[in-house]
Amino acid sequence: MKVLLIGSGGREHALAWKIAASPLLSWLYCAPGNPGMAKIAENIDLNAADHAAVVAFCRKNYIDLVMIGPEAPLVNGLADTLRNARIRVVGPGASAAQLEGSKGFTKDLCARFAIPTAVYGRFNNIAEAKAYIHAQGAPIVVKADGLAAGKGVVVAMTVKEALVAVDACFDGMFGPAGSEVVVEEFLQGEEASFFCLCDGTTAIPFGTAQDHKRVGEGDSGLNTGGMGAYSPAFVMTPDMVERTMREVIEPTMKAMAEIGTPFNGILFAGLIITADGPKLVEYNVRFGDPECQVLMMRLQDDLLPLLIAAADGKLAGYEPAWSDDVSLTVVLVAKGYPEAPEKGSVIEGIEEAAALPNVLVLHAGTALQDGKLIANGGRVLNVIARDKTIKETQRKAYAAIGKIRWPDGFWRSDIGWRAATRES
C-alpha cells in the first residue's frame, strides 16, 4: 500500500514513524516532510495548497491513502478535493473542519445541541466585545475566531489584559483569524486532550494526553503551540472517558450529521474537567502537536488499518490497544520562541539521544545546511520517552536531552509536573 502523508512537523514525523512500521505499507511519501522523516520515507516537493497538483501526484503514483496532518489543508478543503477525485483520505471536508476553523461555529453548535462548554459571546465589533468584557469581568478568555497556529487564545486574569487581547485581534496580530473574536467564561478545572478516530458515523476513543502550552516553568509566560505532553492524562479516568463520549463526542457527531457535515478523521476535544464534569474548550480536527507524539509511542496496534477503516466508514467494532506505560515528550525550541525564534543554529547529538532504550527523537523545525542539522523554526525537536511511571519517564526523557548539543535551544524542565506530584 502506498501512502501520502501531508505535513512536516513533529506530529507528522510521529505519524510517519508509526505508519512506516506497518507490514501493509509498500511506500510512504511525505509532503514536504523534514530531515528526520527522510530517513523512513521519501520527501517530496508538493504544495498542499495546490489541490490539482496533489490529485495529479496521487494518480501518477497510485496512492492508496492520504493522511492530512495539519489543520490548514483541512480547513482549505483538500479532503473534499481528494474525495471528489475518488482518492481515499483521512480528514474532514472544509465544512466539517469549521469545528477548528471557526471557534464561533463550534460555540454556536454547542449552544444549539446542548454540548457542555463555557458561556460565550461572539463579536465582529471591537466596541461590543469590550462592552461584554466590562460586563462579565475577569478572569475571562479571548480567542481569535480562526486558525492562529495555537496562539490566538489569551486567558486574561484582568479586564485590562482582556481589552489588550481584543485590540491585538482586531489590529491584525493573527491576520484574518482575528477579524472576529469569541469571548468566553473562564472555566475552573484541569485541562485534558481527548482524541477520537471518526468515520462519519462511528467515533472510537483514541487516547488521552495533557499538553503544556505555556513557554515557562510552572505553566508561566506566553502561550505556545505546545512545550510538551504526556499520555495518558490521569484526570481522564474510565468514568470521565465514558462521560466525555456520551456528553461531548456523541452529541457532536450527531449534530454534524444533522447539519449535513458528517465528521471523518481525527476529532480532538480540548477539555476542562470541572467539578460538574467535562466541558469543551475547543475542537481541533487533527492530532495535536505534541500530543500525537506521545500517543503514537503508546499505540500498540498497527495504525494503518485504523486509518483505512476511518477513511472507508468501517470503524465500528475497532478497539485500539494501548500500552499501559506512560509516554512523555519534551519540545526543544529555538531561542526567541514563541515571539521571534532564531534560525540557523547547529544541532548535534541526536543519534546518541535516540540510541537510549525506549527513547525517540522526532524532528519538527529542522533543515540540513552543508551537511549539518540546523534549527529552522520555533519548535525544533521532540524527545519522547516511555516507561512505567511518570517520574521514570521524565528521567529518561531529560537524560536523552542531556546528550543533545544545542546551545541555542531551550526547553521546559518540568513537563509532566502535575502527574509527578500525584505519584509522590
Instruction: Please say if the pLDDT value at position 72 is more than 70.
Output: yes
Residue-wise DSSP of 154-169: EEESSHHHHHHHHHHH
Residue-wise DSSP of 185-234: EPPPSEEEEEEEEEESS-EEEEEEEEE--EEETTTEEEE-S-SEEEES-T
Determine the pLDDT at residue 172.
Answer: 86
Per-residue pLDDT tens digits for 126-170:
999 999 999 999 999 999 998 877 678 889 999 999 999 999 999
Laid out side by side, the sheet with 120-123 consists of 120-123, 181-185, 140-144, 153-156
pTM: 0.95
Give the angle subtended at the CA of 224 by the CAs of 223 and 230, to the nearest 5°: 105
* C-alpha cell belonging to residue 162: 482582556
Determine the pLDDT at residue 215.
Answer: 95
Percent of the chain with pLDDT over 70: 99
Determine the pLDDT at residue 177.
Answer: 77
Nearest to 327 by CA among 42, 111, 17: 17
CA distance 17 to 13: 6
Per-residue pLDDT tens digits for 221-243:
988 889 999 999 999 999 999 99
Percent of the chain with pLDDT over 90: 92
Average pLDDT taken over every residue of the chain: 96
